[in-house]
Amino acid sequence: MVTLKEATSKADLKKFVKFPFSLYKDSPYWVPPIINDELESFDKTKNPAFKNAEARFFLAYKNNEIVGRIAAIANWIEINQQKVKKMRFGWFDFVDDTEVSETLLEKVQSIGLGHGLEFMEGPVGFSNLDKVGVLVEGFEALGTMITWYNHPYYQKHYERLGFVKEKEYMENRFPFSNAHPKFFVKANELVKRRYGVKALSYTKTKDVMAMADNMFDLFNETYSSLSSFVPITEVQKAYFKKKYISFINPEYIKFILDKNDRLIAFGIVMPSFSRALQKAKGKLFPTGIFHLLRAKKNSKDVIFYLIGVHPEYQNKGVTAVIFNEYYKTFSAKKIENCIRTPELEDNIAIKQIWKHFDPEIYKRRRTYRKDL
């Protein structure tokens, strides 16, 4: 028999965070989070997402052992302002036992019904900057710090329990050698002349921080038309600056300004921390921090996290200016491989941006939906 316990104490939340460490202890592809960072994400006093969302965390027990976990999330901006009556769920992990997965999902369903919602979708996080999707292809490829990894049996559980595919995401990669200058150098010069735009690159984090609020505003404008988009609020900006921007090499963040010095595009790339996080085993101290700092400085793999272009400048070749800047930076650092974050399968515009780099789709992931 499966029993559920809501994780409300710090001790239980730590069990919630640490459950995947046992579930994936033999996997060479799973990338563990930093335990304290994950706990902070679930702390209502520290994560500003809780100002506009409710989240409850549950552990499943069988024979006195933890066998699963799930987070049930209601985003009130999405529900009340955008009128999307969705119950979110994420951080969903379980042993290969349908009784376990069903019990956890039924709990989310009951919470959603209690809120008068219409459907549930997951796995997703609080916002668009959180992890998304259950892996359905690419199980034998190393994960990243910004995606969930899971066992192959997860998909069968969703479908056996009546869930249907809601969105599909692709993950692509390509060797840096595919980024031939002929695909963007001439276009970069043409776009600069035609529109009077210019690129900004920094080597100090404090200079990047000064641009961060404008960058998040542009992010909201750029992605507002995508399905399930929830805008970043003012209080979240400071949180994300601390959590993300300070963690990234400043020269890996590029800004494009128009002739009036208005920010009209940006790119965020981060070094791959996957191997470093595996070595850290969930802890920064005593040695984990050194693995991460070494990766930040020396990793030859990079992850394209976000590219944003103001709607007025989309389809005008501005990405060529961004790619030209990254080409100079990555050439100097002798980068070898470029990895892209999950992108919606039906996002034709993003496919066009990358088509010349001959990317390989090496993973697919999905969110699943069920009417309440």
Amino acid residing at 251: E
Average pLDDT score over residue span 320-344: 97
In a 13 Å sphere around the CA of 93, the CA atoms on its Cβ side amount to 18
Residue 326: the pLDDT is: 98
Residues 6+ apart with CB under 8 A from 177: none
E runs forming strands in the chain = 3-6, 53-62, 65-75, 86-94, 119-122, 134-137, 164-175, 198-201, 253-257, 263-271, 301-309, 337-340, 343-344, 360-371
Residue 244: the pLDDT is: 78
Read off the pLDDT of residues 290-324 as tens digits, 9 standing for 90 and up.
Answer: 999 999 999 999 999 999 999 999 999 999 999 99
CATH code for position 97: 3.40.630.30
pTM, two decimal places: 0.95
Residue 79: the pLDDT is: 95
The number of domains in the chain is 2
Neighbours of 304 (CB within 10 A): 20
Mean pLDDT of the chain: 95
CA-to-CA distance for 61 and 248, rounded, in angstroms? 38
Average pLDDT score over residue span 53-81: 97
In a domain, 368, yes or no: no
Residue 227: the pLDDT is: 64
CA-to-CA distance for 227 and 82, rounded, in angstroms? 11
pLDDT: is 68 or 247 the higher one?
A: 68
Considering the domain architecture, whether residues 160 and 202 belong to the same structural domain is answered as no
Q: Are 44 and 84 in contact (CB under 8 A)?
A: no
Considering the domain architecture, whether residues 10 and 149 belong to the same structural domain is answered as yes
Residue whose tokens read 């039924």: 106
Q: Which residues does residue 360 pair with via DSSP β-bridges, in sequence order?
A: 173
Residue 225: the pLDDT is: 75
Domain assignment of residue 109, given as a range: 3-171
Read off the pLDDT of residues 220-242 as tens digits, 9 standing for 90 and up.
Answer: 998 887 766 788 888 888 888 88
Average pLDDT score over residue span 128-150: 95
Considering the domain architecture, whether residues 144 and 276 belong to the same structural domain is answered as no
Neighbours of 350 (CB within 10 A): 16
Considering the domain architecture, whether residues 137 and 180 belong to the same structural domain is answered as no
Considering the domain architecture, whether residues 130 and 272 belong to the same structural domain is answered as no
Backbone angles phi, psi at 92, to 5 degrees: -100, 110
Considering the domain architecture, whether residues 138 and 42 belong to the same structural domain is answered as yes
Considering the domain architecture, whether residues 203 and 349 belong to the same structural domain is answered as yes
Residue 243: the pLDDT is: 79
Q: Which residues does residue 55 pair with via DSSP β-bridges, in sequence order?
A: 73
In a domain, 371, yes or no: no
Given pLDDT bands bounded at 50, 70 and 90, which one contains residue 127?
confident
Considering the domain architecture, whether residues 122 and 193 belong to the same structural domain is answered as no
In a domain, 370, yes or no: no
Q: Are 57 and 90 in contact (CB under 8 A)?
A: no
Average pLDDT score over residue span 151-155: 98
Residue 242: the pLDDT is: 80
Residue whose tokens read 């003012």: 234
CA-to-CA distance for 32 and 24, rounded, in angstroms? 9
Residue ranges in 32-83 assigned as alpha helix (H): 35-41, 76
Given pLDDT bands bounded at 50, 70 and 90, which one contains residue 122?
very high
Considering the domain architecture, whether residues 167 and 179 belong to the same structural domain is answered as no
Residues 6+ apart with CB under 8 A from 322: 199, 254, 256, 265, 266, 267, 307
Residue 228: the pLDDT is: 65
Q: Are 97 and 160 in contact (CB under 8 A)?
A: no
Residue 201: the pLDDT is: 93
E strand or H helix at 207:
helix 205-223
Query: Among the three residues 136, 171, 206, which one is the final residue of a domain in this structure?
Result: 171
Residue 223: the pLDDT is: 85
